[in-house]
């Protein structure tokens, strides 16, 4: 049976999560779909430990910290999360949309909110035949549970912030750690690179520049070694219990481009009164939307989500006036947030 919902949010990054909050304040139950297996979008996949300084009233937080706080904030609204599935089809019209996903889920939604950032993110993978079988076992594109790699032979591939940050974090507990980069030019913060070179100078890590992984050996799903070839043609076999490839994430707009929505520069054109796309009832917030003066900031997406929610309320409950209420003084708002009883 189709899953019926008043609001289907596509994307579980910060803007998608805050959209749950703004809808919840208006009494609208939401479902959230994301192609990634966990909530957070770019914040948790690209920079979970990086500091963010421009969230209002929050002097500093990490990407993961922001997502954790948003999850706590939206908890009263009990949004249903559908993770690890990509929205593939969108049909119908305002108030009566039919949405399908990559794993066969079927939704009937009155309104749609696209909060997919710049598309669904897929890691740029290490391209060696047969390596797919080792993914999540000993070949990784993100770090989960850093403590599990203590005492292991580690190889990190890449030259950006993620590669250097994790090299610095994992090297002290690793049996060995080698960072392999395809050139001698790094995209990482200079301070991180300087700190890692200090590790190399004191023997706590190795650095191979102008190197690429060309072969591997494994026992089942357990990596044993990684062969690196330098630009001069020389090869070296590195002991490796785990290898991490940090080549960045590749955003793919994917099926969104096929939904007949007006676009500009690979983004969805919206109005600035309701952040509605060219299809009535379909809204877009965050980095996926475009309008004159658009700034790709998380705080901008929060503003967009608030106005989109009010516009959706008018669609979901036609003919009913939408009143602006304040969480500070409205008993109804406080009841929905679970901070006071109705009429209190």
Residues 181 and 208: beta-carbon distance below 8 Å:
yes
* First CA to last CA distance, the chain: 39
DSSP symbols for 280-330:
TTEEE-GGGEE-TT----HHHHHHHHHHHHHHHHHHHSTT-------TTT-
Q: What is the pTM of this model?
A: 0.68
Class in CATH terms, 3-122+250-337:
alpha beta
User: CA–CA separation, 250 vs 144, rounded Å?
Assistant: 20
Q: Summarize pLDDT for 212-235 with one digit per residue, the tens.
A: 999 999 999 999 999 999 999 999
Q: Summarize pLDDT for 173-202 with one digit per residue, the tens.
A: 999 999 999 999 999 989 999 999 999 999
Cβ-based neighbours of 89, under 8 Å, separated by 6 or more: 98, 99, 100, 255
Q: Where do the domains of the chain lie?
A: 3-122+250-337, 125-247
* Phi, psi torsion values for 149, nearest 5 degrees: -100, 5
Match domain 125-247 to its CATH number in 1.10.150.20, 3.40.50.300, 3.50.50.60, 3.30.930.10.
3.50.50.60
Residues 295 and 332: beta-carbon distance below 8 Å:
no
Q: Give the pLDDT confidence score for residue 277 in this predicted structure.
A: 97
User: CA–CA separation, 96 vs 5, rounded Å?
Assistant: 10
Q: Summarize pLDDT for 95-125 with one digit per residue, the tens.
A: 999 999 989 999 999 999 999 776 656 678 8
* Phi, psi torsion values for 256, nearest 5 degrees: -55, -35
Q: How confident is the model at residue 251 (pLDDT cuts 50, 70, 90)?
A: low
């Amino acid at each position: 049976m189709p899953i019926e919902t008043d609001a289907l949010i596509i994307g579980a990054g910060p803007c998608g999560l805050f959209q749950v909050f703004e809808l919840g304040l208006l009494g609208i139950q939401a479902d959230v779909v994301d192609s990634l297996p966990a909530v957070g979008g770019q914040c948790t996949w690209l920079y979970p430990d990086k500091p963010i300084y421009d969230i209002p009233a929050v002097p500093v937080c990490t990407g993961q910290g922001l997502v954790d706080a948003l999850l706590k904030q939206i908890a009263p609204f009990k949004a249903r999360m559908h993770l690890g599935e990509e929205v593939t089809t969108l049909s119908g019209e305002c108030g009566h949309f039919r949405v399908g996903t990559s794993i066969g889920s079927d939704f009937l939604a009155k309104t749609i909110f696209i909060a997919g950032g710049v598309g669904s993110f897929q890691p740029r993978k290490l391209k060696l035949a047969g390596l797919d079988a080792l993914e999540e076992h000993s070949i990784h594109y993100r770090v989960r549970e850093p403590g599990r790699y203590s005492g292991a032979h580690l190889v990190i591939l890449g030259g950006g912030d993620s590669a250097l940050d994790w090299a610095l974090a994992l090297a002290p507990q690793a049996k060995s750690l080698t960072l392999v980069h395809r050139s001698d030019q790094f995209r990482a913060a200079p301070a991180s690179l300087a700190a890692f070179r200090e590790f190399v100078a004191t023997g706590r890590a190795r650095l191979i520049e102008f190197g690429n992984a060309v072969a591997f050996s494994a026992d089942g799903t357990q990596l044993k070694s990684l062969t690196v070839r330098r630009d001069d043609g020389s090869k070296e076999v590195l002991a490796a219990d785990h290898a991490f490839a940090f080549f960045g994430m590749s955003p793919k707009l994917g099926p969104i481009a096929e939904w007949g929505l007006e676009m500009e520069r690979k983004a969805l054109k919206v109005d600035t009164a309701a952040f509605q796309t060219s299809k009535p009832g379909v809204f877009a917030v965050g980095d996926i939307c475009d309008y004159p003066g658009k700034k790709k900031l998380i705080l901008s997406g929060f503003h967009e989500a608030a106005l989109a929610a009010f516009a959706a309320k008018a669609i979901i409950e036609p003919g009913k006036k939408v009143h602006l209420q304040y969480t500070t003084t409205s008993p109804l708002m406080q009841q929905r947030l679970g901070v006071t009883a109705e009429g209190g």
